[in-house]
Amino acid sequence: MGSCLRLKKSNCKNCYKCIRHCPVKSIRFSAGQAHIIDDECILCGHCFVVCPQDAKQIVDSTEKVRVLISSGEPVIMSLAPSFIANYEGVGIEAMREAAKQLGFHDVEETAIGATMVKREYDRMLKEENRDIVISSCCHSINLLIRKYFPEQLPYLADVASPMVAHCMDIKRRTPGAKTVFVGPCVAKKDEAEIYGDAVDAALTFEELTAWFEEEHVELKHEVTACKQSLARFFPTTGGILKTMAQDSPDYTYMALDGVENCIAALEDIASGKIHKCFIEMSACVGSCVGGPVMEKYHRNPIIQNHLAVARFAGSEDFDVAQPDVAVMKQEFSPIDRAQRKPSEYEVMQILREMGKFKPSDELNCGSCGYDTCREKAAAILQGKAEISMCLPFLKEKAESFSDAVVRNSPNAIIVLNDTFEVQQLNETAQRLLNIRFVSDVLGDQVVRILDPRVFMDVKRSGRGVYNQRVYLAEYQRYVEQTVVPAEDGRMILCIMHDVTVEEEQRQRKEEIAHETVQVADRVVDKQMRIVQEIASLLGETAAETKIAMSKLKESISDE
């Protein structure tokens, strides 16, 4: 089963969308990556459809079919009746002509096998004393019952699907032929592997279209009416019932589509609320025309696909020979999922780790993909989920962490809204701004406690102010403040670092330096005065000495 649907790990972006849409929660998460659990998967293809990253891949069987064709044996295509909705305006003859260009020997409609199946259903209700009969055409529904509701297996019609019935009929009519089913379903690939003696390979419409494009095969838009083609209704919701006689008066006939609706019905059957019913079950909403590999599933509404089928279908059965009951019989056995059921104690322990200590803590929001917190806890114990998938838990944890950071920050933190109202402030801000109780200022304009100009400038410009040193005169404090816009301008964050002591020390140093300069200036002035006085005294003495010496010289010269 794991060979049909694979995951591109590199593309998985931890969004959990696949598990939210998986009706049986058969996806395991590890290290943020999704992994399909083969033992639990029913191959409904929902994860393939909803994945926003195209991380889910359906394994391509085109090469396998090419090998079958190259073997020389006649390869006959069994074409699902939903093809008329996928290839708008292209009838069976045009599809046959196109397929032969790829090397196929012939193309037949799977609706031929559907005719055989619906006849067997009618016979079963008339001849066998059954209480409840569930159609066995949808392989995903068959897997759902075999894996999750094994007690209801006696109600599952032990009849081959239209694909298997048709391919067996082809091989009876054409000895040595190989059969290839083409349709809108992922599960049919798995069914083809299980019943490989009847179906040699299965392709999706996407694979066939890609093959046509590769070989430059153009489809002709022509549809030929055929009265004997009632079973073409099979791929629509209620289409099986539309082809049946519905002439067993003791039975109520009903059609259900969507896995969730089918699960609800199976639970009602288990509780004994339903009796004497024939129930047509389809995993896909809208039945096969809403299949995961309908190429236009994201564009064409199901109603348009239904109308396309209705216009193509006839009013009578295909002219086919009905096989023996033994040939149409198909046994279904339970499939063990080997899933351990956690104890109540283990579940409670996980709930506590998720921060859920009482029932009111269990929000059951479904953001993780599980309907309840207890289901999520059980999935964690089974190795399918991680605690980090709980968004409320992560949000509370993040908020608790951020609150702890704000509360214990040595800096004053103030948060304003875009109208400059105080939304939050921590204890450091209370002490800095002399606020006794936080409630005294919450919701008030910031002008009550601070000059609002810087906040107004930041909101107007959209640019933050960083490490701006200001003096808060009212509080006689110096701070370095950073004011930045947050949450796209809807909030303004102010962080203040008290630098009063540092600023006072800086000012004291400046004062000491100024005083030192003044002292130095006075000393220099005094020294200069002394020097000048000394110079003046030295000058007078030198002059007197010069005069005396001159007189002595003159007296000596006169002698």
pLDDT at 221: 92
pLDDT at 545: 64
Paired with 483 in beta bridges are: 465, 494
- Residues 112, 95: Cα–Cα separation, whole Å: 16
Task: Look at residue 299 and tell me whether its pLDDT is greater than 60.
Answer: no
Residue 388 or residue 251, greater confidence: 251
Comparing C-alpha atoms, which of 503, 501, 437, 439 is closest to residue 470?
Answer: 503
pLDDT at 191: 96
Answer yes or no: pTM beyond 0.75. Answer: no
Residue 151's SS3 state is helix
Question: Which of the four pLDDT bands, split at 50, 70 and 90, describes residue 327?
Answer: very high
pLDDT at 5: 75
Q: Provide CATH code, domain 409-498.
A: 3.30.450.20
- Backbone dihedral region of 496: left (phi > 0), alpha (psi from -120 to 50 degrees) or beta? beta
pLDDT at 414: 92
pLDDT at 522: 82
Residue 274 or residue 544, greater confidence: 274
Q: What is the total residue count of the chain?
A: 559
- Residues 425, 440: Cα–Cα separation, whole Å: 11
pLDDT at 1: 46
Residue 11 or residue 162, greater confidence: 162
Stretch 226-248: mean pLDDT, rounded?
A: 95
Stretch 470-491: mean pLDDT, rounded?
A: 90
pLDDT at 2: 47
Residue 8 or residue 318, greater confidence: 318
On whether the CB atoms of residues 133 and 252 are closer than 8 A, the answer is: no
Question: Which of the four pLDDT bands, split at 50, 70 and 90, describes residue 477?
Answer: very high
pLDDT at 300: 59
Question: Which of the four pLDDT bands, split at 50, 70 and 90, describes residue 438?
Answer: confident
Task: Look at residue 319 and tell me whether its pLDDT is greater than 50.
Answer: yes
Stretch 189-195: mean pLDDT, rounded?
A: 95
Task: Look at residue 194 and tell me whether its pLDDT is greater than 80.
Answer: yes
Mean pLDDT (the chain, rounded)? 89
Q: Which range has the worst mean pLDDT, 59-73, 281-295, 334-348? A: 334-348
**φ, ψ of residue 375 in degrees (nearest 5):** -65, -40
Stretch 475-495: mean pLDDT, rounded?
A: 90
Stretch 70-94: mean pLDDT, rounded?
A: 95
Task: Look at residue 553 and tell me whether its pLDDT is greater than 80.
Answer: no
Which are the contacts of 15, defined by CB distance < 8 A and separation ≥ 6? Answer: 52, 53
Could you give the angle at which helices 205-214 and 62-70 cross, rounded to 10 degrees? 60
CATH: 2.20.25, 1.10.10, 1.10.15, 1.10.3470. Which one for 340-406?
1.10.15
b/e map 454-473, b = 16+ CB within 10 Å = bbeebbeeeeebeeeebebe
pLDDT at 549: 62
Out of 198-202, 434-438, 510-514, give the one with best mean pLDDT. Answer: 198-202
- Residues 78, 100: Cα–Cα separation, whole Å: 13
Task: Look at residue 29 and tell me whether its pLDDT is greater than 60.
Answer: yes
Q: Give the side-chain half-sphere CA count within 13 A for 362.
A: 16
Q: Which range has the worst mean pLDDT, 5-9, 202-206, 240-244, 321-325? A: 5-9
The stretches of 200-297 forming alpha helices (DSSP H) are 205-214, 239-243, 259-270
- What is the tens place of the pLDDT at every residue in 275-287? 999 999 999 999 9
Cα 179 to Cα 7, 24, 96, 176: the distances in Å are 28, 32, 14, 10
pLDDT at 297: 52
pLDDT at 236: 96
- What is the tens place of the pLDDT at every residue in 123-157? 999 999 899 999 999 999 999 999 999 999 999 99
- What is the tens place of the pLDDT at every residue in 532-549? 888 777 766 666 666 666
